[in-house]
Structure 1
Amino acid sequence: MTAIPKTQKVILFEETSEDLSVLQYKDFPVPEISADEILIKNRYAGVNFIEAYFRSGLYPAETPYVLGREASGVVVAKGDNVTHFKVGDKVAYLSPSTFAQYTKVDGTTGIRILKLKDDASDEDFKLLGSVLVQGLTALTFVNEPYNVKSGDFILLHAAAGGVGQLLTQLAAAKGAKVIATASTDAKLQIAKELGASFLINSSTDDIVKKVKEFTNGVGVNAVYDGIGKATFEASFESLAPKGTFISFGNSSGAVPPFSISRLAPKNIAILRPQLFGYTNTPETWEKYSKELLALISEGKLKFTITKVYALKDYPKAAQELESRATTGKLTLEIPQ
């Protein structure tokens, strides 16, 4: 095993800003592990919109802040108390600070770390280092905050995005009628091919009017809204009586404060779930991670990595993602 260096290349910011210019590709200390931790040398790290929330200051972050939420790689060191993993294990995992050559992770519980096959290929590293955040988000969200049922009408915003594509497939597979929104007809075609029953161009169509048309005036049983401020009112008005509003993102900005009494006329439930709350025990982690892998390996869930960037080029990936110019998943290749 190659000696572990003292410094590494990372992507970080030292001050918050919506401007991408605060992002830095620079040398940074390799983390030292405790007796309970493992050190992973990363191969690939998935790009997720949540990084923009930390960079802009919408979500709190201690600086200097190394970005990233998921990755794949090889265990290169372990603490004395770690029994689940050994040096040389190939893994994919969820953790902060993965836009880096090395990341330290708690290794005592096995939660949010997935062992890969000993003969895992580069393609395996790429796929599994990129799918966990969005795949597990989609899988838990169609079961936990709202259990999608056959015959349900589901409104899904940004259906051609990373989470959107997976939610479309999973909801359609459960027998739901997915009403997909996207900003272009080309993106809507992607959603249609993945199982969406109805399409709404969010750039030109009246979302609420279209939803009422598709549901004979009743509205949808649930809405999945990762856009936030720009779509909140349309999502709210599109719900049927006893509908469920799942708000899980802020790509257009944070949802403004609103009066809780607005929920009463139609007995609406509103939730703000996060993936970690559904995978916080060994049992739930094993359940959902195994189910996700099975769906992918059996060809029941299509996951598309549309572009791979070098770690140093993350600012370009972020610009393309935040300008809504992308579909599917973006991934970073970590220098070795």
Structure 2
Amino acid sequence: MSASNFPDTIRAIQYTGVGGPEVIKLNSVPFPKPGPNEMLIKVLYGGVNFLDINFRRGIYPLPAIPWTAGWEAAGVLESLPSDPEILSDPEFKARQFKVGQIVASVAPVAFAEYITQPWIKVLPVPDGIGPKLAAATSLQGTTALTLVEEAYNAKQDDYCLVHSAAGGLGLLFCQLLSARGVHVIGSVSTKEKAELAKANGAEYTINYKEEDLVKRVKEITNGEGVHGIYDGLGKAAWQDNLEMVRRKGTIVNFGNTTGVIPPFSILDLKAKNIHLVRPDSSQYMVTPREIREYNSLLWKTVKSGELKAVISKEYPFTPEGVGEAQEDQASGRSLGKLVIRIAN
């Protein structure tokens, strides 16, 4: 499509303030004009992530009001950067971008009909992987990969606990850890979620609404506790995590779905020489090379079947649809990954 054929305005899902789903609106915004280092993408699907809810609720400050929602998108590449230095950059060339191909983006302002992103944040998607799967996998897939590789590099025969094991990200942790020969313990809230977690690699599941989570973890690990904990819950899991991790074990806290961990004494880690990591997965992918290498690893694991996004529901590109998706995720009602269909 030539520049003259693009519309003057597009639709975008935006937050008009901090609060509940009522602040989500479908607004008309100017068509985005790419800068010299940016690429234009026609968005087909967006992935739903708790990160969006944290911004909407004000846990993380909104950069502006209104602010376009979404951190995960996939669609059709409409234009390349115009800067000649970028076009000749070896890292840019290594990605082999082509106008018309399917690409994914792991960056803010994703829920709009068209977006522009710096080329470094755009991930080429291999043939055979469609935009729906790409949108469901790009952010959560690279999050799981970076945390398993670098936050706590789990090894064969380790025991690791995954909180919210039947969520979109939790299932990816179960898959990756199981493929490494890790004994995966999945924390879940229903029988249906336990079955799903087991089908995706969890060796053990614990329904924390019916069983004593700390007691069962200790029983499974012969009283020692787990080597690693992958925790997106935050506040509600903190004290139990300290009990369930073994001596010299690692707690990886990467989310706040139940609230931010309250202030604590650093001496709490001393009794068992606990390692505590609070990573931002994007900080593992800062340089063009880091992003390209993790992108390559992502699609390699997807194509091999080691990583499989379990998409449970697709929602419409409306304020009601996005609001429902976020509330389904926040309430714990949802299973697996949720996506927004933005265009055909």
- TM interval, short-chain normalised: over 0.9
CA positional deviation for 1:311:
1.2
Moved more, 166-175 or 189-198: 189-198
CA positional deviation for 1:30:
2.0
Q: Deviations over 1:69-97 (max 9, x none)?
A: 11111222444215244543431121110
1:1-336 pair list within 5 angstroms: 1=1, 3-17=5-19, 19-61=20-62, 62-81=64-83, 82-83=86-87, 84=92, 85=97, 87-107=99-119, 111-117=120-126, 124-312=130-318, 313-335=321-343
* 8 Å CA contact retained: 1:14, 1:64: yes
* 8 Å CA contact retained: 1:160, 1:328: yes
CA positional deviation for 1:304:
1.3
* 8 Å CA contact retained: 1:112, 1:279: no
* 8 Å CA contact retained: 1:6, 1:29: yes
Aligned-residue RMSD, C-alpha? 1.6
CA positional deviation for 1:239:
0.7
In 1, Cα distance between equivalents of 2:222 and 2:336: 31
**How much identity, in percent, do the aligned residues show?**
39
Q: Secondary structure at the match of 1:316?
A: helix
In 2, Cα distance between equivalents of 1:116 and 1:131: 11
In 2, Cα distance between equivalents of 1:300 and 1:223: 21
In 1, Cα distance between equivalents of 2:28 and 2:139: 26
* 8 Å CA contact retained: 1:310, 1:335: no
Q: Secondary structure at the match of 1:164?
A: helix
In 2, Cα distance between equivalents of 1:330 and 1:251: 16
In 1, Cα distance between equivalents of 2:46 and 2:168: 14
TM-score scaled by structure 2? 0.91
Q: Deviations over 1:159-212 (max 9, x none)?
A: 000110010111111111111100111101111122212211121211111111
In 2, Cα distance between equivalents of 1:175 and 1:36: 42
* 8 Å CA contact retained: 2:136, 2:309: no
In 2, Cα distance between equivalents of 1:116 and 1:210: 41
Q: Deviations over 1:43-85 (max 9, x none)?
A: 1111111101000000011211111111111222444215244
CA positional deviation for 1:112:
3.2
In 2, Cα distance between equivalents of 1:294 and 1:80: 30
In 2, Cα distance between equivalents of 1:115 and 1:327: 28
CA positional deviation for 1:32:
2.2
In 2, Cα distance between equivalents of 1:33 and 1:112: 13
In 2, Cα distance between equivalents of 1:219 and 1:159: 18
For these two proteins, the number of residue pairs brought into alignment is 329
User: Which has more helix, going by share of residues?
Assistant: 2
CA positional deviation for 1:283:
2.1
In 1, Cα distance between equivalents of 2:122 and 2:81: 16
In 2, Cα distance between equivalents of 1:93 and 1:304: 19
Task: In structure 2, list runs of 5 or more residues that go unmatched.
Answer: none
Q: Deviations over 1:114-133 (max 9, x none)?
A: 2235xx57x61111122111
